[in-house]
Amino acid sequence: MKKALILLGCPESPSQTPLALYTAHKLTKIGFEVTVASTPSASKLLEVSDSEEFYVNKKIDLELCLEDLEEKEYDLLVGFVHKDAAVSYFVTFYHILNTKSIAIVFEKDSDLLEKFLNDLKENTDATLISARAYHNPTPIRVKIDKAFNVLED
Amino acid sequence: MSFCLELHLQQSEDYEILISKAGFKEAKKVIENHSPRILYVKPGAKVLGARIIGIPPIPIGIDETQSRITLPYTKPCHGTAVVDLPVEKEEIDKVKAIAVNPMKK
């Protein structure tokens, strides 16, 4: 079974947790074994939102994951990027894993969104999914659906 | 025993924060302007026992006369800080060994 790693950033953006569960479920349906790497607080949000572990049953601490990460350990990296630090984390995971990667980039400020996208374009060959979004996950969910339909094909 | 950056920052006061809660590019400029010598490493390179997080090339500041290292330190919710701290000479040698494009300022 192919393995996917979902990389979560700071859970400050309200859209991140529902989008992470949505993305994990989509990847599971396609046939991936999904692991979510996150901070302890982002992990707590997942635990409460998905208390029966219906959508995510493999979680790992972000720092522990990074410490032991090896090239090609996962077949797919999906990173949620909505802060400058998340760009740095995604680029770092991308360079260590050297595997197919998708960055889901969302921000309410259009200038910041553009900056994050430029940094990712300059430093990775990842597929970029982006939208202006913060409270409302729908704009980015629609784009996730389109991108993942390609993955299914 | 090898150096552990996380442990050092938790248990010692012998370090200086040059900037905190910054963006990576801002932190990079601080390091490049601060240290007499800059070595660059790849994202994920291990320096002082910790994976270095950032956008390549990542600068590590070296001051061999003072035996100090200056490096970026990123956390998901707090952005990037720049930490300057004293180290053994062998830790500087380890950075030299993994540097991708050693450059003198």
Q: What does the pLDDT look like over A104-135, one tens digit per residue?
A: 999 999 999 999 999 999 999 999 999 998 88
Which candidate in A41, A69, A92, A118 is best for mutational testing of the B interface (most B CBs within 10 A)? A92
ipTM metric: 0.91
User: CATH assignment of A2-152?
Assistant: 3.40.50.10160
Is the torsion defined by CA of B86, B90, B95, B99 positive or negative?
A: positive
Give the pLDDT confidence score for residue B103 in this predicted structure.
52
Nearest C-alpha of chain B: how many angstroms from A84?
Answer: 6
Identify the DSSP state of B94: H
Six-digit token string for A86: 């998340």
Check if the beta carbon of residue B37 is closer than 8 Å to that of residue B11: no
Q: Which chain A residue lies closest to B73 (C-alpha atoms)?
A: A85
- Give the helix ranges, DSSP H, for chain B: 5-11, 24-34, 89-98
For chain B, say whether A117 makes contact (Cβ under 8 Å).
Answer: no
In this predicted structure, the answer to whether residue B102 has a pLDDT above a threshold of 90 is no
> Domain segments of chain A: what residues?
2-152
State percent of chain A over pLDDT 90: 93
Q: How many CB pairs under 8 A join A and B?
A: 65
A66 — contact with chain B (CB < 8 Å)?
yes
| Structural tokens at position A104 | 């889901």
Taking contacts as CB-CB distances below 8 angstroms, the residues of chain B near A68 are: none
- Dmax of chain B from CA atoms? 35
Please tell me if residue A119 touches chain B, with a CB cutoff of 8 Å.
yes
Query: Chain A residues with CB inside 8 Å of B31's CB?
Result: none
Q: Among B23, B44, B51, select the one facing A84 at the smallest CB separation.
A: B23
